[in-house]
């Protein structure tokens, strides 16, 4: 770890900082005033930054870099082993303010007769600021010492708690050993129960599959019954006449005024063009009975409940109607 030598404000013409860097006493005081004007907070991190600014006047100052960048600060902390020494009272950043205060006060007393009033005022201002900073710093050191004492006291309490915990853990180990012996005795019994449970599980799964297949079959039957009741049976296409054929028969029917009753639709009382048979056994015009069944589940003639809304084409009756109309026309 590299460290800077302590800065001594003696009566020589210049002050050594680091390596070959030298400043006269007036420049040192100006440098100190520039640092104090920044009004750093009173904590260890701030003292470290002040120490870096103070011991690097060739880089930081009123006419140079004004602050330490984050990257450079990390480098300085690594270079000076800040992480391990930051709470150590012998670290240079914990001591240099006291050295500065002592040396500047001594220098002020020796040279006060040679200074004019403005210079003397500057020196006194610097010394006063350094005293305030030092007192704050000393308070921090005292607080740190108090925290250390509390920490040691708590550490001792924690050690006692740790010993009690160890005693308790030893008792637990004894109990655990006893429990392990008991568990070992029951291992075979548990394995036997597991085998029986496995067999029971397989049996239950087989029963479940049987029930599931039964439920699927019931669901299928229910679906078929619903389709039958709704008049729709999957896989069977119920035929109906084409639009052209319908139009031809309709024109023939319009020319005939008194057709037989068996050719008339019970709903429309008109000649049936596309006759179908409903589940009440009667024939109706397809469009008329389909419209009826959308709102009713009973026979238009008897009023009885229909078992299904399915209708089937009455090819025989339609053929008879077409032959009847064609022959009369």
Q: pLDDT tens across 134-158, in order?
A: 666 666 667 766 777 787 777 778 7
> When comparing pLDDT for 233 and 227, which is higher?
227
Q: Which residues contact 328 (CB under 8 A, 6 or more apart)?
A: 256
* Structure token digits, residue 315: 């090819």
Could you tell me the pLDDT band of residue 292, with boundaries at 50, 70 and 90?
Answer: very high
Fold classified for 243-328: Herpes Virus-1 (3.30.40)
pLDDT of residue 74: 92
8 A C-beta contact, residue 282 and residue 266:
yes
pLDDT of residue 174: 87
Domain boundaries, the chain: 14-150, 243-328
pLDDT of residue 233: 44
Q: Maximum distance among all alpha carbons in the chain?
A: 152
State the alpha helices, DSSP H only, in 37-91. 44-54, 70-79, 82-85
The residue-averaged pLDDT of 286-313 equals: 90
Pairwise CA distance, residues 25 & 107, whole Å = 10
pLDDT of residue 153: 77
Cα–Cα distances (Å) from 212 to 67, 69, 162, 207, 310, in that order, read 80, 75, 61, 9, 31
Given a cut of 80, whether residue 179 has pLDDT beyond it is yes
The residue-averaged pLDDT of 276-303 equals: 91
Could you tell me the pLDDT band of residue 265, with boundaries at 50, 70 and 90?
Answer: very high
> When comparing pLDDT for 36 and 216, which is higher?
216
Reading phi first (left if > 0) and then psi (alpha if -120 to 50, else beta), residue 123 is in alpha
* Structure token digits, residue 121: 């005022």
Pairwise CA distance, residues 191 & 87, whole Å = 61
Cα–Cα distances (Å) from 139 to 42, 51, 82, 86, 293, in that order, read 9, 18, 21, 16, 100
Could you tell me the pLDDT band of residue 29, with boundaries at 50, 70 and 90?
Answer: confident
8 A C-beta contact, residue 94 and residue 50:
no
Average pLDDT, the chain: 77
Place of tokens 């015009």: 285
Q: Could you give the percent of the chain with pLDDT greater than 70?
A: 73
Given a cut of 80, whether residue 171 has pLDDT beyond it is yes
The model's pTM: 0.33
Given a cut of 70, whether residue 124 has pLDDT beyond it is no
């Amino acid at each position: 770890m590299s460290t800077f030598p302590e800065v001594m404000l003696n009566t020589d013409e210049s002050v050594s900082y680091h390596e070959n860097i030298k400043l006269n006493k007036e420049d040192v005081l100006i440098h100190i005033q520039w640092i104090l004007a920044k009004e750093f907070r009173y904590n260890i991190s701030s003292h470290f930054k002040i120490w870096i600014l103070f011991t690097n006047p060739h880089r930081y100052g009123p006419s140079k870099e004004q602050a330490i960048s984050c990257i450079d600060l990390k480098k300085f902390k690594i270079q000076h082993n800040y992480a391990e020494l930051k709470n150590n009272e012998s670290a240079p950043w914990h001591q240099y303010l006291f050295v500065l205060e002592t040396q500047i006060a001594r220098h002020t007393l020796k040279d006060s007769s040679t200074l004019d009033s403005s210079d003397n005022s500057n020196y006194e201002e610097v010394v006063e600021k350094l005293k305030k900073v030092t007192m704050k710093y000393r308070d921090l050191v005292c607080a740190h010492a108090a925290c250390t004492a509390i920490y040691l006291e708590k550490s001792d309490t924690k050690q006692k708690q740790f010993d009690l915990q160890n005693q308790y853990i030893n008792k637990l180990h004894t109990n655990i050993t006893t429990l392990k012996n008991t568990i070992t005795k029951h291992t075979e019994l548990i394995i036997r129960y597991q085998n029986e449970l496995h067999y029971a599980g397989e049996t239950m799964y087989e029963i479940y599959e049987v029930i599931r297949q039964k439920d699927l079959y019931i669901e299928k039957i229910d679906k078929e019954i619903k389709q039958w009741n709704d008049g729709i049976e999957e896989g069977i296409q119920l035929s109906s006449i084409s639009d052209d054929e319908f139009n031809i028969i309709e024109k023939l029917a319009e020319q005939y005024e008194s057709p037989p009753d068996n050719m008339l639709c019970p709903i429309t009382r008109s000649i049936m063009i596309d006759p179908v048979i409903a589940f009440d056994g009667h024939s109706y015009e397809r469009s008329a009975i389909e419209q009826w069944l959308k709102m009713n589940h009973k026979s238009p003639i008897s009023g009885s409940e229909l078992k299904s809304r399915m209708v089937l084409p009455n090819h025989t009756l339609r053929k008879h109607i077409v032959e009847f109309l064609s022959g009369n026309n």
